Amino acid sequence: MNFTKEKPKGKLDILCSARVRLRDDQRKLLKDAYNTIRNTNTPEPLAAIGGSTVKTSTAYQINSHLALSDITIRDLINTRESIQIVTVLSLQAALGVEALTKEEVMKAFQGYCDYIFLIGNDGQ
């Protein structure tokens, strides 16, 4: 099977889905980028006038690539042990950072392929 940079036009014969366990440095890169964008797009509270208060709230999406709520994004970045690879790539694109490289993914898939093709060969 040959892979190209074009999206597949039909169904793939073999599905290669995966989850990613982010390292601490990858997680920090995503957190920092997310917090920078979030803080940049959050307005300063308005001053109170004569004992009254004004409450403001802002709803925003980091990017059209990512239609997730703020709480969902923070949950993914902060607490999940593993995240779907497609979600990590979408998050990277939306934040404008690269926490996971194509080379890392290819190396992991190659290692997995090497491992699964040992099955039935008694490790020979």
Q: What is the pTM of this model?
A: 0.69
Q: Hunting for tokens 């790539």 — which residue is that? A: 89
Rounded Cα gap, residues 22 and 28, in angstroms = 9
Of all helices (H) and strands (E), which one includes residue 109? helix 102-116
Q: What is the mean pLDDT of each run of 10 residues along the chain (124 residues)?
A: 61 82 95 88 67 56 67 90 91 92 93 86 62
Query: What's the pLDDT score for residue 98?
Result: 95
Query: What's the pLDDT score for residue 22?
Result: 94
- Write the secondary structure of 69-97 as one string of H (helix), E (strand) and C (coil): CHHHHHHHHHCCCCEEHHHHHHHHHHHCC
Burial, 114: exposed, middle or buried (Cβ in 10 Å; 0-12, 13-18, 19+)? exposed
Query: What's the pLDDT score for residue 19?
Result: 92
Query: What's the pLDDT score for residue 70?
Result: 82
Query: What's the pLDDT score for residue 31?
Result: 94
